[in-house]
Structures are given as C-alpha cells and as structure tokens.
C-alpha cells in the first residue's frame, strides 16, 4: 500500500509555515521503506526569522503569572494524554516502533511534563534577614529567554519533552529542531501547545539540517542549547555553542554494560538482557550493548540461555501485534550495522545468533534486522569500542568483578551500566567504584524517573546540564541575588573598606 506523500511545514509564530527553500528531506516509513512525507530544510535566514518571533513570544509568556503559565502547561499535558492514540500512530509510523514501545515512550514523556508543573516550587529563591548591617539578601530566578533543543530520531516524543517541558514552564521560548527523520510528532505537539494557550512564538519548530543547527548554535539571541545524538555531534554542538557564549548540555552515545555475577539468577538476567538489549531495535542510548558475565562457567550458561531466548524473538511491522521489535530507522543505518557485525567477525568474535537477514526481508522493503549476538568479543575490537545503534549485541567475558569494573571504567563512554547479583557486597563495590552516570542494580535499563536527573559521564555528556529532573529548572534559568537595605534618618559616614559582616 502506497501512502500519499505529504509536504510538511515548520511551526513558527504560533502557526504552520511553509518552507521557503527548495531543500527537502524524505521522511520514510521504516517498516515499509516508503517515502511518506517531505520535510522542508530551513535556511539560516528562516531560522533568524523564527528566533525573532520567539523573542517576542517569550516576553508575553514570561509576563504571565506563574499560576497562568501552569494552567497552560497542565492543559497541554491533558491534551497530550487525551490524544495519545493519534500520537501513537505517528510515532510508530515514522520510527517503526511497536505500539507498546511507543506508548512507553509517551508515558515517560508525560513524566517530564508532570515535573514541569512543579516549576513554581523550583523557581523559589532564597531570603535572609539582616545578613549584616541591616541588609536583607534574597535571590530570584528568571528565564533565559530564547532556548533551543536539537532532538534525535529514536525518541520523537520522550526526548523532546524531556528537553523542553521545564524550559517552557519556567518562562522561556523554545525552538525545537526535531530529527528530520521523525518530524510528525513534534509538529503534532505544536498544535497541542497552541490549543493549550501558549502565546505565539513561545514554541517553535524549525526543521532542517546543518544550516539550521549552526544558526541555532551561533545566533546571539539563543541563550542555551540542549542536544541529544551521537557523541561526535554532541562534542561539536558543545564546542560550537559554548564558543558563542551559550549554556550547552549535549548528550552523546553510550556503550552500556550488564555485569552478570555467578550468584545471579541467570534466567532472570537473560530475560532482562533480552528486552534491554533489543527493545526498539536497540536504538536507545541506554540500551544494553554488552553482556559481561563473570567467570567462564557463568558465561557459558548465560550464553546458552540467551541464545535460546533470542532465537524466539520476532521482528516485523508495528501493525502486527506479536512483534517484539521493528525496523531500524533507515537503509543507511541497516547497512552500517551489518558492516559492524562483519568487521567484528573478521576481528575474531564468535557468531552466536545471526540477525543480518531475517525472513521478513523476503516480503518487505522495510529496514529490518534480526537480533545478532557475538561472543568472545575483546576490548580491542571496534564493535566493543564504539556504540552500535542497532540490534547487534556482544558478550565480553571476564574472570572477576574487579576486571569488569576496570574495563568499564576505561571505556570512553559512561552513560549507563547495571549489575545482576544477589550479593550486597558485590553491589556495594560496583556502585561505589563504577565511573558511569546512571547505574542499575538488578535493573536492566537504569533510566531515572522524571524527577531525577538524567546524564552520563565521560564522553557520553558534554556540559553540566541534565535532562529530566530538577536540574532542568536550574539549566534554563539565571539567578539574580539582591542585597537590600533601607537607610536610617541619620547621615552615614563614608567608608572605603571592603564590605564585611
């Protein structure tokens, strides 16, 4: 079945706006390989116009009372929940996710909106009476102004909401540049913000590629940048944005390990690995990339159990109810993942399960890969060193927990890690010594809930901001500290000494 190819728009100044350039990108349904839409690529001049309108919209939005702003955010939240079936369809269509997985994403996105409803509490300043010399001191928090978010393809709803909900709630105008691969969801949310009563300009969508991104990074009116994507681009965004005086929180990739101790319930650990490693076709920055069983006997047993479970997984389109995961996002992504598997085999890894050519490829042009598992992967192999954003997972065998910790700590990425064990002592040692930002104990994907800060260590995150959590309020505001004294009737003597208490 061939879908009608739509021409999408930007969302600027509170309304849908057609692109002014002749540059468009194809948007695919990865489940079928069909082009479903064309998305306009904004020029630098178009982005400048959007920023100017955002600046005006921000003034109106910030001037509203906190109570009124929270009414708008709450209405947006309720509209999002009421119309989630429509959003589910869009997420599955443009990303290939199963409806169950898409629903989980939307639910987690709602957590970020829920947290943003606490903005009045998080914006409270401090007040001290008579800090010295009859001076009272207090602080206030103000929005930055116009801020930007550059979002990835793998979470069309959750990540944009995590990046923007608090930014909006504390009084900023947000310009969101969604991935050109998944623009439908962002445009849909734009309509909900408008219906909720957000002033024109306070929420903007500019679609595009490098020209649009560079204008956001360099334009002096944009005060902060939130980015999620590959480590290579995250570093570029951080360096370019900070060079131009902006706050930047740039989240990169992860090579997330699961340590399996000899005392762990291996059936439970294997089931946990299955979902954490292969869910969403492994296109998650917090997906488990590497199983790390401790001891050869543990490794042999674990690989035997997981092999049997992997071979039962079903890959297919989101329209089928019994599918475990869908396609990867693009033809180019599929080809890259296959090349990474092939190189791993050339470097000496052992093929346990081969997912390079699943049966569905005979009847569909979608970008399908089955689950692949490579055993006896060593730290010098490329497939261990780099993140593979697709269903190619690896087993790295170690002899002791100490060896596992040293190996993980020496990796350049430090997004997430987890351990499966029944030993409190092993857990304590692991939690205390591991150098990774998000840690799980018998938890397969240690993504914090919405009211805890999200962020990796090392080259998984550039900048000091976080996604999710109360730190987002700090990142998107600036603090003003006031020292206040009302003079007495008598004339005060002149003093040249440095003020002290």
| Residues involved in catalysis | 285
Of 192, 54, 65, 169, the closest CA to residue 122 belongs to 169
How far is 168 from 202, CA to CA, in rounded Å?
Answer: 8
How far is 222 from 229, CA to CA, in rounded Å?
Answer: 20
Q: Report helix, strand or coil for 25.
A: strand
Tokens representing residue 446 in the block: 């240690």
Task: Tell me the residue ranges of DSSP E strands in 279-390.
Answer: 288-293, 350-353, 372-375
DSSP output for 220-272: TTEEEEEEES-HHHHHHHHHHHHHTT-EEEEE----EEEEE-TTS-HHHHHHH
How far is 75 from 192, CA to CA, in rounded Å?
Answer: 9
How far is 194 from 15, CA to CA, in rounded Å?
Answer: 8
Q: Exposure of 120 by Cβ count < 10 A (0-12 exposed, 13-18 middle, 19+ buried)? A: middle
How far is 168 from 145, CA to CA, in rounded Å?
Answer: 10
Q: Within 10 A of 78 (CB to CB), how many other CB atoms are there?
A: 13
How far is 117 from 67, CA to CA, in rounded Å?
Answer: 10
Tokens representing residue 499 in the block: 């003020």
Rounded to 5 degrees, φ, ψ at 31 are: -75, -20
Q: Within 10 A of 138 (CB to CB), how many other CB atoms are there?
A: 15
Angle at 308 between CA 96 and CA 398, to 5 degrees: 95
Tokens representing residue 304 in the block: 């035997």
How far is 332 from 53, CA to CA, in rounded Å?
Answer: 36
């Amino acid at each position: 079945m061939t879908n009608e190819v739509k021409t999408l728009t930007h969302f600027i100044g509170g309304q849908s706006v057609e692109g002014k350039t002749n540059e468009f990108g194809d948007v695919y349904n990865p489940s079928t390989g069909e082009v479903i839409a064309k998305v306009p690529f904004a020029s630098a001049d178009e982005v400048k116009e959007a920023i100017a309108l955002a600046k005006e919209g921000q003034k109106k939005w910030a001037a509203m009372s906190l109570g009124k702003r929270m009414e708008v955010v709450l209405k947006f939240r309720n509209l999002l929940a009421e119309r989630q079936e429509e959003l589910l369809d869009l997420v599955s269509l443009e990303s290939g996710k199963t409806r169950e997985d898409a629903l989980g994403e939307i639910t987690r996105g709602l957590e970020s909106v829920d947290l943003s409803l606490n903005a009045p509490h998080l914006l409270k300043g401090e007040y001290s009476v008579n800090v010295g010399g009859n001076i009272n001191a207090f602080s206030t928090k103000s929005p930055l102004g116009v801020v930007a978010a550059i979002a990835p393809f793998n979470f069309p709803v959750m990540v944009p909401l995590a990046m923007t909900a608090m930014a909006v709630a504390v009084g900023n105008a947000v310009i969101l540049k969604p991935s050109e691969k998944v623009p439908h969801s962002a445009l849909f949310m734009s309509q909900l913000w408008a219906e909720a009563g957000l002033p024109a300009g306070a929420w903007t969508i500019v679609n595009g590629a490098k020209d649009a991104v560079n204008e956001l990074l360099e334009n002096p009116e944009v005060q902060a940048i939130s980015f999620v994507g590959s480590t290579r681009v995250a570093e570029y965004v951080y360096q370019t944005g900070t060079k131009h005086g902006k706050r930047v929180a740039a989240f990169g990739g992860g090579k997330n390990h699961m340590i399996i101790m000899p005392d762990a319930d291996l059936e439970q650990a294997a089931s946990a690995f299955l979902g954490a490693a292969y869910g969403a076709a492994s296109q998650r920055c917090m997906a488990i990339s590497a199983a790390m069983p401790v001891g050869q006997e543990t490794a042999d047993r674990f690989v035997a159990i997981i092999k049997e479970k992997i071979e039962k997984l079903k890959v297919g389109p989101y329209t089928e109810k019994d599918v475990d995961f869908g396609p990867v996002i693009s033809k180019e992504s599929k080809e890259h993942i296959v090349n990474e598997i092939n190189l791993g085999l050339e470097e000496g890894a052992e093929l346990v399960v081969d997912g390079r050519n699943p049966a569905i490829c005979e009847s569909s042009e979608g970008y399908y890969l089955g689950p692949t598992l490579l055993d006896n992967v060593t730290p010098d192999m490329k497939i261990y060193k780099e993140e593979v954003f697709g269903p190619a997972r690896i087993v790295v065998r170690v002899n002791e927990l100490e060896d596992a910790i040293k190996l993980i700590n020496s990796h350049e990425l430090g997004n997430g890690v987890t351990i499966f064990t029944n030993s409190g002592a092993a857990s304590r040692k692991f939690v205390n010594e591991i150098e990774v930002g998000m840690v799980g104990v018998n938890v397969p994907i240690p993504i914090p809930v919405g009211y805890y800060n999200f962020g990796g260590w090392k080259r998984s995150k550039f900048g000091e901001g976080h996604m999710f959590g109360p730190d987002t309020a700090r990142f998107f505001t600036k603090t003003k500290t006031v020292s206040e004294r009302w003079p007495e009737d008598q004339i005060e003597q002149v003093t040249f000494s440095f003020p002290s208490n």
